[in-house]
Amino acid sequence: MNKFYVTTAIDYVNDTIHLGHAFQKIAADVLARYYRITLGKDNVFFLTGTDEYGQKAEKAAKEQDISPSEFVKKISDSDQKEQDSLNISYDRFIRTTDSNHAEVVKEIWNRIKKNGDIYSGEYQGSYCEGCEAYYTKEDLIEGKCHIHPTLKIKIIKEENYFFKWSKYKDFLIEHINNNPDFIFPKHGAKEMLKFAKNIKDIPISRSNFTWGISVPNDLKQVVYVWFDALINYLTGVGFLKNKELFSKFWPADVHILGKDNLRWHALLWPAMLKSAGIGLPKTILVNGFLNINEQKISKSVGNVIRPSEWTKKYGADAVRYYLLRYTNIIDDSDISEEKLLQAYNADLANGLGNLIARVAKLCERVTLKSSPTPTLSQDYKQGIENFKFNEVLEIVWSRIKVLDQQINSSEPWKVTDQKKLTQILQSSVNGIVSVANELKPFLPNTSEKIEEQFKGPKIISEKPLFPRI
Ligand SMILES: [Zn+2]
């Protein structure tokens, strides 16, 4: 592998993102930062952003009595600020209202049409406005959407354009079967194979509202929001606009998305790409949901927490650390501020912070050589490349523990022989520099501070990295 292109879901702008959305951005950020180390900065592209068209955004704007474009800009700006508060190192923050995106969507539409896969027809059936998705009877539980059980399912009847999704049924099944890395985790692949058998053509335009990208040569219809949103992964990396960038980074290496979006990414998106004659992404990584205090995060429960609320109190690195270490990306996980605080004090203030402070203080008595350039171990690399971020952090923290024990057993504060003292501390500092290197993708600010402090030859005490709270 010589390049790495990672994307997150682009968040829908009905409201500012919360911790549940942010978790996925942190995971993508770890991958981007890791591959920048192993492949070089110029060989990584990290895309995130906001999904801004559709009926839900139009409605929300109306409720606030402002134009849709004003409304979506407000939310998009605030989403971006939330991501910045977590130190997410995206290369582009795309908005589907960006001017060049409409051009790309029209080009893809035309290609798919030219391939004979778009036809006009009448759609009559169920539609969940929460998901902005068409559902069949089998998709609904007692007539309700499983994600939005309080919303009324609309029965809509519209003249639409349809995409011949069903034409790609066999292709999709074969692709999933032949590419075990295509959907991660594996049970996602199983679920998609089951769904693929029943794929039917779907409408890819809407005609009863106007907030969307116009269908080429039919101003009465706007492109269905999912069809438009998926295409952001092409726009974001220069399709049509920057040939060099696009051919360097496409196909995407990892699309990360929530489990509620899997169907669109694993089945609709590949069919669209195949029809348009464009290569398929390599891996679709499905993340589980976060619950707070064992409750689903939701406005109506009143437990929505914005990332910045936590980063202001604890710092970006502490929030990143807690979420990456004490959840795993695949399964649903339960989080709480109490547990964050525990992790902060035990692992960051005591574990890491304490080691750094102790060794720095002892080092004031000696002059050290600069540490050898650290390398990343195989278990560390494999862990990140297989998305096992919690396990990788466990490995790093076990190294921190070993370094701590070495200090305890060699008791450098009792050593009077300067040569022996230098030897002991040199070994500790080498270990710390190596840990700082391993922390780079996870705790970028902390890693930088440690590297700076332990550069030598003169090492001095600094303020604690994580003051106890
Ligand atoms: Zn829904």
* Ligand 1 midpoint to CA 55 (Å): 13
Whether residue 460 is predicted with pLDDT greater than 90 in this model: the reply is: yes
* Ligand 1 midpoint to CA 99 (Å): 29
**Amino acid 366: pLDDT:** 94
**Amino acid 27: pLDDT:** 98
**Amino acid 176: pLDDT:** 98
Closest CA to 425 of 355, 368, 350, 351: 368
Q: Of 146, 187, 299, 312, which is the active-site residue?
A: 299
pLDDT digits (tens, 9 = 90+) for 259-293: 989 999 999 999 999 999 999 999 999 999 999 99
* Ligand 1 midpoint to CA 236 (Å): 27
Q: Of 146, 148, 220, 312, which is the active-site residue?
A: 148
Q: Look up 299 and say whether it is catalytic.
A: yes
Distance CA(272)–CA(121), nearest Å, equals 19
List C-alpha distances in Å: 436 to 375, 397, 429, 451, 452. 11, 11, 10, 6, 10
3-state helix, strand, coil in the chain (%, to 5): 50, 15, 35
* Ligand 1 midpoint to CA 280 (Å): 27
Confidence class for position 131, pLDDT limits 50, 70, 90: confident
* Ligand 1 midpoint to CA 418 (Å): 69
Q: Look up 187 and say whether it is catalytic.
A: no
Whether residue 354 is predicted with pLDDT greater than 90 in this model: the reply is: yes
**Amino acid 465: pLDDT:** 97
**Amino acid 229: pLDDT:** 97
**Amino acid 83: pLDDT:** 98
Q: Look up 463 and say whether it is catalytic.
A: no
Distance CA(393)–CA(438), nearest Å, equals 9
The first and second tokens of residue 19, run together, are: 């911790």
- Segment 370-389 shows an average pLDDT of 96
Confidence class for position 14, pLDDT limits 50, 70, 90: confident
Which residues have CB under 8 Å from 424's CB, separation 6+? Answer: 410, 412, 415
- Output the pTM of the full model: 0.95
Q: In this structure, what is the dihedral angle of CA atoms 351, 356, 362, 367, given to the nearest 10 degrees?
A: 150
pLDDT digits (tens, 9 = 90+) for 197-235: 999 999 999 998 899 999 999 999 999 999 999 999 999
Which residues have CB under 8 Å from 309's CB, separation 6+? Answer: none
Q: Look up 21 and say whether it is catalytic.
A: yes
Q: Look up 363 and say whether it is catalytic.
A: no
Distance CA(87)–CA(444), nearest Å, equals 8
With 0-12 / 13-18 / 19 or more C-beta atoms within 10 angstroms meaning exposed / middle / buried, residue 21 is: buried
Whether residue 133 is predicted with pLDDT greater than 90 in this model: the reply is: no
Whether residue 139 is predicted with pLDDT greater than 90 in this model: the reply is: no
Q: Of 145, 255, 265, 440, which is the active-site residue?
A: 145
- Segment 355-360 shows an average pLDDT of 97
pLDDT digits (tens, 9 = 90+) for 384-405: 999 999 999 999 999 999 999 9
Whole-number percent of the chain with pLDDT over 90:
90
pLDDT digits (tens, 9 = 90+) for 238-249: 999 999 999 999
Domain residue ranges of the chain, discontinuous segments joined by +? 336-469
- Residue 54 has, within 13 A of its CA and on its CB side, a CA count of 23
Which residues have CB under 8 Å from 163's CB, separation 6+? Answer: 112, 117, 118, 201, 202, 203, 204, 227, 271, 272, 275
CB contact at 8 A, 403 and 355:
yes
- DSSP string computed for 106-151: HHHHHHHHHTT-EEEEEEEEEEETTTTEEE-GGGSBTTB-SS-TTS
* Ligand 1 midpoint to CA 152 (Å): 9
CB contact at 8 A, 249 and 242:
no
- DSSP string computed for 331-375: S-EEE-HHHHHHHIIIIIIIIIIHHHHHHHHHHTT---PPPPPP-
- Segment 14-43 shows an average pLDDT of 96
Q: Of 144, 169, 259, 296, which is the active-site residue?
A: 296
Q: Which element (helix H / strand E) includes 153?
A: none
Q: Look up 296 and say whether it is catalytic.
A: yes
Q: Of 128, 255, 265, 440, which is the active-site residue?
A: 128
Whether residue 137 is predicted with pLDDT greater than 90 in this model: the reply is: no
* Ligand 1 midpoint to CA 465 (Å): 44
Tell me which residues have their CB within 5 A of the ion that is ligand 1: 128, 130-131, 145, 147-148
Distance CA(366)–CA(416), nearest Å, equals 12
* Ligand 1 midpoint to CA 306 (Å): 22
**Amino acid 279: pLDDT:** 98
Q: Look up 74 and say whether it is catalytic.
A: no
Whether residue 147 is predicted with pLDDT greater than 90 in this model: the reply is: no
- Segment 301-312 shows an average pLDDT of 96
Q: Of 56, 131, 363, 440, which is the active-site residue?
A: 131
pLDDT digits (tens, 9 = 90+) for 92-106: 999 999 999 999 999
Q: Say which CATH topology domain 336-469 has.
A: Isoleucyl-tRNA Synthetase; Domain 1 (1.10.730)
